[in-house]
Amino acid sequence: MSRKYFGTDGIRGKVGEAPITADFLLKLGWAAGKVFANEGHGFVLVGKDTRISGYMFESALEAGLSAAGVDTRLLGPMPTPGVAYLTRTLRAKAGIVISASHNPYYDNGIKFFSVQGTKLPDDIEGKIESYIDSPMTTAESAKLGKAKRLVDASGRYIEFCKASIPTRFEFSGMKIVVDCAHGATYHIAPHVFREVGAQVIVIGAEPNGLNINDQCGATKPEQLVAAVMANQADFGIALDGDGDRLVMVDHKGEIVDGDELIYIIAKSRLDAGQMSGPVVGTLMTNLGMEHGLKEMGLSLLRAKVGDRYVMEMMNDHKGILGGENSGHIICLDRTTTGDGIIAALQVMAEMHDSGKTLHELKSGMQKYPQVLINIKTIKTVNLDGNENIVKSVRAVEEKLGNKGRVLLRASGTEPLIRVMVEGEDAGLVNNYAQQLAEDVKKVIGA
């Protein structure tokens, strides 16, 4: 179904530019309220990350929902997976998150969760869009929605995270660094990891509305690497601005990405006899992870890039584990959406049970060198239908054999063609990627 406002992960953009404006968010709140009002009595939860525009948009959404006659429970700063959990456990009509995830402070966005704690079905998004383009009305005064603050929201989510691992796990021997990206986990993640016994050093937990994801967190783990080494910590945990991504750093200062973390959790589930279904990755998932899983007798399915598509494929094939190399990790046997804190706890549990360091656990998977080149384009190109491009790709694939992979795809969000090559030899991979990029540029006239 085509969308005018909703993308693959809600609505997102630069603050002050359509559609991320106060007047649009007012209308969006009203439109969503009109749809949710038809669901019967109840309320909608609204959470946000720490960017400064969250105050403005929280008020706008609240006003729109009230005008539609729907009650609101305001959560304040709350990780995206926390909103998903609270929506489900409190039986809310829906959950709304005001966040642009790993983007800078000057961006913002809106995500919705259903009462099941999952993304809204396409038909509900379609109904909301139809109301956005219709005149706004206001319920009579006696039927206006009311708004309240849910004061124990953080405590509820902290307990849920801790409950994702058995109480027998006690991590008193672990010294860890936690980077909260000055985001929505700043008042939650440190409590979770301390309450399961770890000695926690916290960085990136002083949000001022402007520093979210700024040279910190899962997308910029260099500060975490330095902190792990300076404090001689066992490992580090980097979350992103809304807490749904996880990247870790081992005691040697090496970054452990989403693919490696998914591999570790998959092995843990398999050893415990709790693994079912295939592991779901994306077109960008490292070939080394696919080979590592195969050696354990597990299969990897590749979805389109985006956690929405990963989730769809997991549900279609009854999988319990999936995610992206960027750090979106979905443990459906523990929760309903990607959750950085819960994923980190699963890795810590495997370290505890195996007696191995994070560095030792990730070494079971040999990550292949991967080169990605972005080519700007001003016109649409049918990559699969162009004879010259197909010929170039086949030539590289023949040289790589089953020890490598080529991927050409148009970006879904930017005017770019992405050229990705991976294989065993870093030098050859780089040469092949450069060669393919030049061939693509010739075809598109870049």
* pLDDT over 70 (residue 190): yes
Which tens digit of pLDDT belongs to each residue from 122-156? 899 999 999 999 999 999 999 999 999 999 999 99
Q: How far apart are CA 263 and CA 275, in angstroms?
A: 12
* pLDDT over 60 (residue 1): no
Q: Is the peptide bond before 19 cis (omega within 30 degrees of 0)?
A: yes
Which tens digit of pLDDT belongs to each residue from 211-250? 999 999 999 999 999 999 999 999 999 999 999 999 999 9
- Name the least confident of 201-210, 254-263, 397-406: 397-406
Query: Residue 195: its pLDDT value, please?
Result: 97
Half-sphere exposure (CA, 13 Å, Cβ side) for 1? 13
Structural domains in the chain, sorted by start: 11-153 (3.40.120.10), 161-362 (3.40.120.10), 370-444 (3.30.310.50)
Query: Residue 442: its pLDDT value, please?
Result: 87
Q: How far apart are CA 336 and CA 266, in angstroms?
A: 17
354 is catalytic: no
Percent of the chain residues past pLDDT 90, beyond the cut = 86
In terms of Cα–Cα distance, which of 223, 169, 219 is closest to 201? Answer: 223
Residue range 5-23: mean pLDDT, rounded: 93
Query: Residue 83: its pLDDT value, please?
Result: 98
Q: Answer whether 261's CB lies under 8 Å from 248's CB.
A: yes
| Residue linked to tokens 């409590």 | 191
Please list the helix, strand and coil fractions of the chain in percent, rounded to the nearest 5, in that order.
40, 20, 40
In the set 53, 66, 101, 114, the catalytic residue is 101
CA dihedral 165, 171, 175, 180 (to 10 degrees): 30
Which tens digit of pLDDT belongs to each residue from 100-119? 999 999 999 999 999 999 99
Q: Residue 401 is which amino acid?
A: G
* pLDDT over 90 (residue 327): yes
Query: Residue 41: its pLDDT value, please?
Result: 66
Q: Answer whether 92's CB lies under 8 Å from 86's CB.
A: yes
- Name the least confident of 123-127, 273-277, 328-332: 123-127
